[in-house]
Amino acid sequence: MTKENGRSRRIAIIGAGPGGLCMGLRLEAAGFEDFVILEKGEGVGGTWYHNRYPGCAVDLPSFFYSFSFERKYDWSRPYAPQSELLAYLEGIAEKYALIPHCRFEHEVERAVWNEETSSWTLRVAGREAIEADVVISAVGMFNDLVYPSIDGVDAFERDCFHSARWDWNVPLEGKRIGVIGSAASAVQIVPELAKVAERVDLYQRTANWVLPKEDDPYTDEQLAQFRERPELLDAQRDEYFAVVDAGMTFQNEEMMAATSAAGVAALDVVEDPDVREKLRPNHPYGCKRPLVSNLFYPAFNRPNLHLVTEPIDRITKAGVRTEDGTEREIDLLVFATGFSATKYLSALDVTGRDGLHIDEAWDDGASAFLGITTAGFPNLFMLYGPNTNNGSILEMIEYQTAHVLLHVKRLAEEGLAWTDVKPEAQAAYNERVQEAIAGVSVWNHGVNGYYRSKSGRVVTQWPFSMTQFQDMTAKLDPNDYEVG
């Protein structure tokens, strides 16, 4: 089966974060103008739109958070706050005329493949269904919020919300605040809360590695220099890129030793020896997501910040009770418990060829060829999909969107109705990826985290370099795909 006039095909992109915007820009530049970007929020930005908690900032140097086609040279500091990154992405959408393609408050709930028409039907919450010949999922990893499985979690009668849905209408000054979770978002939130709250209780299940960062704000003179001579910042980026690219598999023993030493040394600022010991990670650096902060450890020298490591028994109407019987009354409860990062496309209800459901296809955990296509789901492509997390997200997204465009062009140029990766190609690729992951000792140390699916398979991490991923996605081998 073929389709004529392929460039007039309807393309639907799910998500208006960095991936969705980059994909839309590539399509438009290549002459594919019949596309729509479906976004559940009220604006562009994705994760950087929804995450607005106190202290929210990037965790790699700022220069990794602009696209190669639109470098930004006036970040206020080496690790930019969320507001600057959101403004950058909004600027991308405006400059490249992507806003007219966006449909805000359009949350896609279900996608179903129609064999007869070789098209997808997208069910959008509270709106008419949308038909598309090609669907590009840009929902990424950070889509489904995770709430802890604690008795009484719904019993709390005071202010309560997830860190990724921060309610700025709730005042923080002088309040007693409980924070459950001690990873990426908590490391940024807690120091800010401790500045204004009467008391902050941080409930920690596992201590994490929190490394220092060079983050002094740029001076006016430095910013002027970057604008006048952008090659200076480009040189910094290239130098750091080489370091990150080489360290992605955590195999460089010298680099690992130096990083671990820096993490241990950072703890010295904590004055209370008991608290300092409770904050010391008992697993090797790299087992879990590495964190960076200059403010987290010093915050524990404040008398109003309390580290609670006793397991939580239950949440009550007015506070949190731990297993030792202590109940701490609070005015605000914050769940800094992250996302169900291993779900990817299965965060939606997706049915492909022959009634194959995404949950059935991924019964052993999410998997995809190049992290982009999954057998049984024709004309469906993923950005920031399974096993593509490592290094710079925006860098990886650029490689992925370029690869998806190769498929879209092929469909158009050859008049194809659909393309679908062959199961054997996907299986061989994922076997290679999992073999490489098995060789990364820190990812196999037995520490539970968002890297693993319920089956125990690591489904998030990319075990090679970004450069290798670029090389692998730069081409499209027709032998790896079925077409119709």
Could you read off the pLDDT of 100-137 as tens digits, one per residue? 999 999 999 999 999 999 999 999 999 999 999 999 99
Distance between CA atoms of 3 and 408, rounded to whole angstroms? 13
pLDDT per position as a tens digit, 35-74: 999 999 999 999 999 999 999 999 999 999 999 999 999 9
Cβ neighbors of 215 (< 8 A, separation 6 or more) are 77, 78, 79, 294
pLDDT per position as a tens digit, 345-403: 878 999 999 999 999 999 999 999 999 999 999 999 999 999 999 999 999 999 999 99
446: left (phi over 0), alpha (psi -120 to 50) or beta: left
- Tell me, what's the pLDDT at 456? 85
SS3 85: helix
2 pLDDT band, cuts 50/70/90, is very low
Domains in the chain, ordered, with CATH?
6-144+340-483 (3.50.50.60), 159-209+251-335 (3.50.50.60)
The predicted model gives 151-173 an average pLDDT of 95
Over 60: is that where the pLDDT of 7 sits? no
Q: What is the pTM of this model?
A: 0.94
Burial class of residue 240, CB neighbours in 10 A (0-12, 13-18, 19+): middle
Cβ neighbors of 232 (< 8 A, separation 6 or more) are 225, 226
pLDDT per position as a tens digit, 298-317: 999 999 999 999 999 999 99
- Tell me, what's the pLDDT at 447? 58
User: In the β-sheet with 159-162, what is the strand arrangement from edge to edge?
Assistant: 159-162, 332-335, 176-180, 199-203, 305-308
- Tell me, what's the pLDDT at 449? 66
Distance between CA atoms of 151 and 442, rounded to whole angstroms? 32
Over 60: is that where the pLDDT of 11 sits? yes
Main-chain phi, psi angles of 135, to 5 degrees: -120, 130
413 pLDDT band, cuts 50/70/90, is very high
453 pLDDT band, cuts 50/70/90, is confident
Q: 36-45, 80-89, 172-181, 336-345: which has the minimum mean pLDDT?
A: 336-345
Distance between CA atoms of 471 and 92, rounded to whole angstroms? 26
Residue 460 host element (H or E): none
Q: What percent of the chain has pLDDT over 90?
A: 84
Neighbours of 411 (CB within 10 A): 23
Q: What percent of the chain has pLDDT over 70?
A: 98
Over 80: is that where the pLDDT of 8 sits? no
The predicted model gives 187-207 an average pLDDT of 97
Give the distance, in angstroms, between the CA of residue 431 and the centroid of all CA atoms in the same chain. Answer: 24
SS3 143: coil
pLDDT per position as a tens digit, 213-236: 999 999 999 999 999 999 988 999
Burial class of residue 103, CB neighbours in 10 A (0-12, 13-18, 19+): middle
- Tell me, what's the pLDDT at 346? 79
The predicted model gives 437-453 an average pLDDT of 80
SS3 14: strand
Q: 7-11, 365-369, 437-441: which has the minimum mean pLDDT?
A: 7-11
SS3 98: coil
- Tell me, what's the pLDDT at 5? 47
Distance between CA atoms of 376 and 396, rounded to whole angstroms? 24
- Tell me, what's the pLDDT at 4? 52
Over 90: is that where the pLDDT of 188 sits? yes
**Helix boundaries (H) for 58-201:** 82-95, 184-196
E strand residue ranges, 204-346: 210-211, 291-292, 305-308, 312-315, 319-322, 327-329, 332-335
The predicted model gives 147-157 an average pLDDT of 93
User: In the β-sheet with 312-315, what is the strand arrangement from edge to edge?
Assistant: 312-315, 319-322, 327-329
- Tell me, what's the pLDDT at 446? 67
Nearest to 445 by CA among 241, 216, 237, 285: 285
- Tell me, what's the pLDDT at 1? 42
**Contact 78/59 with Cβ under 8 angstroms?**
no
142 pLDDT band, cuts 50/70/90, is confident
**Beta partners for residue 177, in sequence order:** 200, 332
- Tell me, what's the pLDDT at 347? 85
Its sign, for the CA torsion 33, 35, 41, 44, is negative
- Tell me, what's the pLDDT at 6? 47
**Beta partners for residue 407, in sequence order:** none
Neighbours of 424 (CB within 10 A): 10
Q: 14-28, 112-126, 334-348: which has the minimum mean pLDDT?
A: 334-348
